[in-house]
Amino acid sequence: MLARLSALLPRPQHAPGVLAAAATAGAAAVVAPQLPAHLHLSAIPVSIALGAFAANALPAHLTRPLAPGLAYASSTLLRGGIVCVGAKLSALQVLSLGWAAVPAAACSVGAGVAIIPRLAAACGLAPRLGALLACGTSICGVTAISAVAPVVGATQAEVAIAVANVVAFGSCAMLLYPHVAAALFSPSDSQSIGLFFGLAVHDTAQVMGCAASYAEQYSDAAVVGAAAVAKLTRNVLLAAVVPLMSVRHASGVSKSSVAAAIPVFVVGFLGMAALRTAGDTQLARGGRALFIFDHSTWKNGADWLGVSLGTKTLLGTGLAAVGLSVNISAFQGAGLAPFIVGAAGALIVGTVGLGAALVASRVNPVPAK
């Protein structure tokens, strides 16, 4: 046990690569807000792009010493970020959207995870890339890709290609779906519209951009909260899909035991979500979270752990390291096939999400305003 914990600690040789990845993530945090606001691009995909540009623009003798630290950042730090992201997930928030959210999310994610790998195989893509495209499209974009990549043994180039798909087709969905919702849903049905956005758009930042765009165009602020909770519901399913992908792509892992295929960081992710749920439950009952924290302290602490530390710092640094490890020549043989599969997958997940939201709106109709 001590040996395993010791392996997680950074070594002196990791410093150059980790610092380079952190600097790249910091630069992305500055650059991303300067990009066109309607794109709603978070710093994470920008950090991958900046890292890939730097890795291929700098001479090899400068990038070679970074390799140990980049490997550490793109594995240990990235997995630590996934654990921290669990602090954003609370079962109480999921239940607040109603009973329909969970089966609707399961249908949307299930369709993508079942169909997209088959489309990838039919197009001649490696199973690893098919898994990344399926999970990135179906669950939570870049976060899902970063969680699934280590358990399927994906290469850095495959991760970068999958992220490019999320950025491209998630952005298209973000711009298109507010108009689809306006055409197909009652303007008073904020819950179902938010459910549609939360199930159909790829990445969390894109979901919030889509909902904010709708809210601004149609004066319906309630859609933003409903979309956030629907996306949260979908994100929870990451804990089930990662072990599934581990079993499908097992190498030295017993397929007879799903428990053996559950990565430690997924257990940590679930534990963090359970802790958040326990604290939220105590607050909802009038007590203190974990018998210690008041509402403001608990919420601010969970936000810091899940967003500031987990997403912005650890995931940002880990995925910047992925970018810094990409050799652009790896893309030369990729062709259009990954993007054809990504587009088809986005259409499948979006259609299922739309159908689930329409069913929910019929089952629980909202009176017109």
Residue 221 confidence (pLDDT) above 90 = no
The encoded tokens of residue 368 equal 């017109």
Can you give the length of the chain in residues? 369
pLDDT at 332 (0 to 100): 64
Residue 204 confidence (pLDDT) above 70 = yes
Residue 289: phi, psi to the nearest 5?
-65, 125
Residue 99 confidence (pLDDT) above 50 = yes
- Distance between CA atoms of residues 178 and 267, nearest Å: 36
* This prediction's pTM: 0.72
Confidence grade of residue 111 (pLDDT, cut at 50, 70, 90): very high
Span 69-94, average pLDDT: 83
Q: Which residues are CB-contacts of 224 (< 8 A; sequence separation ≥ 6)?
A: 194, 208, 211, 212, 215
Q: How does the average pLDDT of the chain come out, rounded?
A: 84
**Residue keyed to tokens 């819950």:** 191
Percent of the chain past pLDDT 90, that is, above it, reads 33
Residue 252 confidence (pLDDT) above 50 = no
Span 280-305, average pLDDT: 92
The encoded tokens of residue 358 equal 């329409």
Span 169-187, average pLDDT: 88
Q: Give just the sign of the alpha carbon dihedral 242, 245, 251, 255.
A: positive
Q: Which residues pair with 293 in a beta bridge?
A: 289
The encoded tokens of residue 116 equal 């997209």
- Distance between CA atoms of residues 83 and 311, nearest Å: 10
Pick 7 or 226 by higher pLDDT: 226
Q: What DSSP string runs through 94-115?
A: HHHT-TTHHHHHHHHHHHHHHH
Say if residues 148 and 154 touch (Cβ distance below 8 Å). yes
Q: Give just the sign of the alpha carbon dihedral 113, 118, 123, 128.
A: positive
Say if residues 349 and 76 touch (Cβ distance below 8 Å). no
Residue 181 confidence (pLDDT) above 80 = yes
pLDDT at 369 (0 to 100): 44
Say if residues 133 and 162 touch (Cβ distance below 8 Å). yes
Residue 115 confidence (pLDDT) above 80 = yes
- Distance between CA atoms of residues 295 and 301, nearest Å: 10
Span 27-53, average pLDDT: 82
CA 161 vs. chain centroid, Å, equals: 15
Pick 255 or 324 by higher pLDDT: 324
Of the candidates 85, 144, 43, the residue with the CA atom closest to the CA atom of residue 306: 85
Pick 175 or 7 by higher pLDDT: 175
